Amino acid sequence: MSTTNPQSDAPSDEGAPRGLRRWSRRPADGSPAAAARARRRSKHRRRVANVAGLMAALVLTGTLYSALSPAQATEESGATESSAEAAGRELYERSCITCHGENLEGVPTRGPSLIGVGEAAVYFQVHTGRMPLVRQEAQAPDKPAVFSDEEIDQLMAYVQANGGGPTLPSGDLREGDLTEGGELFRLNCASCHNFVGEGGALSSGKRAPSLEDANDLEIYTAMLSGPENMPVFGDNQLTPEEKRAIVNYVQTIKAQADPGGAGIGRIGPVAEGVVIWVVGVAALLFGIFWMGSKA
Amino acid sequence: MSTRESAPGSTGGADVPGPLHGGPDDDYTPEQLATLSREELDLLGARYDDVQVLHVDPGPEPGSSVERQAVRQVALTFGLAGLAAFAAFVIYVGSGWFLPDWQWTITEGGWSAIFTPMIGALGGLALILVGVGMVVYTKKLLPHETAVQDKHDGSHFDRVTTGATLVGGLHNSGLARRKLITRSLVFMGGGVGLMLLMPLGGLIRNPNTGNPLGTTSWGEGVRLLRDDGSPIRPGDQQPGSLETVFPEVPGGNRESDAATMLIRLRPEQVQVDRPRTGQEEFGYGDYVAYSKICTHAGCPVSLYEQETSRILCPCHQSQFDVTQGAKPVFGPATRPLPQLPITVDDEGFFVARSDYIEAVGPTYWNRERI
Amino acid sequence: MARTATAPGVPTTPLGKAALEVDDRLIVAGPLRRTLNKVFPDHWSFLLGEIALYSFVVLLLSGTYLTFFFDASMREVVYEGTYAPLRGAEMSAAYESTLYISFDVRGGLFMRQLHHWAALLFVASIVVHLTRIFFTGAFRRPRETNWLIGVALLVLSFAMGFTGYSMPDDLLSGTGLRIVSAIILAIPVVGTWVHWAVFNGDYVGEFIVGRMYIVHVLIVPAIILALIALHLLILVKQKHTQFPGPGRTEHNVVGNRLFPAFAGKAGGLFFIVFGVCAALGGLVQINPVWLWGPYNPAQVSAASQPDWYVMFLDGSTRLFPAWDINLPGNYTIPALFWPTLVLPGILFTLLALYPMIERKLTRDTASHHLLQRPRDVPVRTSLGMMAVTFYVVLMISGGNDVISEKFDISLNAMTWVGRIGLVILPPIVYVLTYRICLGLQKHDREVLEHGLETGVIRRLPHGEFIEVHQPLGPVDEHGHGELAYGGAPVPKRMNQVGGARRAIRGFFKPIEEPAQVELEQRRDEHGLAAAESRELTTSGRPSDGGRPQEPRD
pLDDT in tens, A217-237: 889 888 988 888 899 898 888
What local confidence, expressed as pLDDT, does residue A294 receive?
63
Closest-CA residue of C relative to B362 is C182
Distance CA C202, CA B257 (A): 10
* CB-based contact B356:B218 (threshold 8 Å): yes
In a domain, C373, yes or no: no
Q: Is the same domain home to A151 and A94?
A: yes
What pLDDT sits at residue A88? 82
Residues B105, C87 contacting (CB under 8 angstroms): no
Q: How far apart are CA C29 and CA B25, in angstroms?
A: 13
Query: CA-nearest residue of chain A to C265?
Result: A291
Contacts of residue B88 in chain C, CB cutoff 8 Å?
A: none
Instruction: Judge whether A6 lies within some domain.
Output: no
Q: Which of C291, C312, C401, C541 to mutate to test the interface with A (most CBs of A within 10 A)?
A: C291
Q: Print the domain residue range for C130.
A: 41-245+253-297
Whether C125 maps to a domain, the answer reads yes
Q: Which of A130-144, C96-110, C143-157, C413-427 has the lowest mean pLDDT?
A: A130-144
Residues of A forming the annotated binding site?
Answer: 96, 99-100, 189, 192-193
Same domain, B88 and B133: yes
Closest chain C C-alpha to B180 CA, distance in angstroms? 37
Burial of A278 (0-12, 13-18, 19+ CB in 10 A): exposed
Please give the Cα distance from A286 to C86 (Å, whole number).
42
Cβ C203 vs Cβ C178: under 8 Å: yes
- Same domain? For B185 and B95 the reply is no
CB contact under 8 A, A206 and B302: no
Contacts of A260 in chain B (CB under 8 A): 116-117
Our count of domains for chain B comes to 3
| pLDDT of amino acid A68 | 45
Residue-wise pLDDT tens digits, C222-231: 999 999 999 9
Instruction: Please check whether residue C156 lies inside any domain of the structure.
Output: yes
Within this chain, do residues A137 and A183 fall inside the same structural domain, yes or no? no
Residue C150 pLDDT more than 50? yes
Distance from CA of A156 to the nearest CA of B (A): 21
Is residue C208 assigned to a domain?
yes
Are residues A157 and A88 in contact, defined by beta-carbon separation less than 8 angstroms? Answer: yes
Looking at the partner chain, which of B108, B300, B305 has a beta carbon nearest the beta carbon of A257? Answer: B108
Of C121, C285, C410, the CB nearest to A276: C121
Residue C549 maps to a domain: no
pLDDT of residue A33: 41
Q: What pLDDT does residue A42 have?
A: 45
B298 and B177 within one domain? no
CATH number of the structural domain spanning residue C136: 1.20.810.10
Same domain, residue pair B169 and B130: no
Structure confidence at residue C344 as a pLDDT band (50, 70, 90): very high
Average pLDDT of the segment spanning C140-158: 95
Are the beta carbons of C188 and B335 separated by less than 8 Å?
no
Confidence (pTM): 0.87
> In this structure, are A182 and A216 located in the same domain?
yes
Summarize pLDDT for C37-48 with one digit per residue, the tens: 999 988 889 999
Please indicate, yes or no, if residue C268 is contained in any of the structural domains. Answer: yes
Q: Are residues B229 and B320 in the same domain?
A: yes
Comparing A179-183, C333-337, C453-457, the range with the smallest average pLDDT is C453-457
For a pLDDT cut of 90, what percent of chain C falls above it?
63
Helix axes A149-163, A42-67, angle to 10 degrees: 10
Residue B173 lies inside a defined structural domain of this protein: yes
> Which chain B residue lies closest to A187 (C-alpha atoms)?
B244
| Known binding positions of A for heme c | 96, 99-100, 189, 192-193
Residues 59 to 98 of A: which have CB under 8 A from any C CB?
A: none
Which of residues 114 through 173 in chain A touch C, CB cutoff 8 A? Answer: 138
Domain that holds residue A159: 83-163
Interface touch B332/C300, C-beta < 8 Å: no
Q: Over chain C, what is the mean pLDDT?
A: 87
Q: Which chains touch A (3 or more CB pairs under 8 A)?
A: B, C
If asked whether residues A186 and A156 sit together in one domain, one would say: no
Quote the ipTM score: 0.90
pLDDT < 70: residue spans in chain B:
1-23, 108, 370
Residues of chain C with Cβ-Cβ distance to A249 below 8 Å are 85
In degrees rounded to 5, what are phi and psi of residue B300?
-75, 115
CA distance linking residue A63 with residue B135, whole number of Å: 79
Residue C299 scores a pLDDT above 80: yes
- Residue C502: predicted pLDDT: 53
List CB contacts (< 8 A) between C324 and chain B: 334-335, 363
For residues A96 and A137, membership in a common domain is answered with yes
Q: How far is the C-alpha of B300 from the C-alpha of A270, rounded, in Å? A: 21
Domain CATH code at residue A216: 1.10.760.10
Angle at C67 between CA C62 and CA C68, to 5 degrees: 105
| Alpha carbon distance C372, C378 (integer Å) | 11
* Helices within C451-552 (DSSP H only): 514-525, 530-537
Split into its structural domains, chain A has a count of 2
Whether B333 and B235 map to the same domain: the answer is yes
Q: Are C166 and C177 in contact (CB under 8 A)?
A: yes
Same domain, B296 and B250: yes
- Flag if B303 and A202 touch (Cβ within 8 Å): yes
Residues of A in contact with B312 (CB under 8 A): 202-203
Per-residue pLDDT tens digits of chain A, which is 295 residues long: 343 343 334 344 443 343 344 333 333 333 344 333 443 444 454 454 455 554 454 444 444 444 444 444 444 444 566 788 888 888 888 888 878 877 777 787 777 888 778 888 888 888 888 888 877 777 777 878 888 888 888 888 888 877 777 888 888 888 889 999 999 999 999 989 998 888 888 888 888 888 888 888 889 888 988 888 899 898 888 899 999 999 999 999 988 888 888 989 888 899 999 999 999 999 999 999 998 876 5
Q: Which domain holds residue B71?
A: 65-149
Residue A32 lies in a domain: no
C-alpha C26/C-alpha A156 separation (Å) is: 90
Distance, in Å, from the CA atom of C221 to the CA atom of C550, rounded to the nearest integer, reads 47
B297:C326 CB<8 A: no
Å between A118 CA and nearest CA of chain C: 29
pLDDT tens profile C1-35: 444 444 566 788 899 999 999 988 998 988 999 99
Taking the C-alpha atoms of residue A123 and residue A125, their distance in angstroms, rounded to an integer, is 6
Q: How confident is the model at residue C184 (pLDDT cuts 50, 70, 90)?
A: very high
A267 touches chain C (CB under 8 A): yes
Chain C residues closer than 8 Å to A283 by CB:
276
pLDDT reported for residue C498: 66
Strand ranges in C219-271 using DSSP code E only, listed in sequence order: 252-257
Q: Are both B112 and B232 inside the same structural domain?
A: no
pLDDT in tens, C195-250: 999 999 888 888 999 999 999 999 999 999 999 999 999 999 899 999 998 888 88
**Long-range contacts formed by C514-519: CB under 8 A, 24+ apart:** C515/B65, C516/B66, C519/B64, C519/B66
In the three-class reduction of DSSP (H, G, I as helix; E, B as strand; rest coil), residue C463 is classed as coil
Q: How far apart are the first and last CA of chain C?
A: 55
CA nearest neighbour of A84 among A42, A115, A117, A119 = A119
Q: Which pLDDT score, from 0 to 100, does residue B11 have?
A: 54
Instruction: Provide the CB-side half-sphere exposure for C278 (13 A, CA).
Output: 27
Residues sharing a CB contact under 8 Å with residue B255, sequence separation 6 or more, in sequence order: B216, B217, B246, B247, B249, C297
What's the pLDDT score for residue C263?
Answer: 92
Which of A229, A252, A288 to mutate to probe the C interface, most C CBs <10 Å? A288
Number of domains forming the structure of chain C: 1
In a domain, A235, yes or no: yes
Q: Kind of pairing, strands C465-470 and B310-312?
A: unpaired
**Residue A229 touches chain C, beta carbons under 8 Å:** no
Higher pLDDT, C105 or C511: C105
Cα(B328)–Cα(B239) distance, rounded to whole angstroms? 22
Pick from C276, C300, C529: CB nearest B302? C300
Q: C41 CB contacts (<8 Å, ≥6 apart)?
A: C240, C241, C242, C243, C253, C254, C255
B274 in contact with chain C, both atoms CB, cutoff 8 A: no
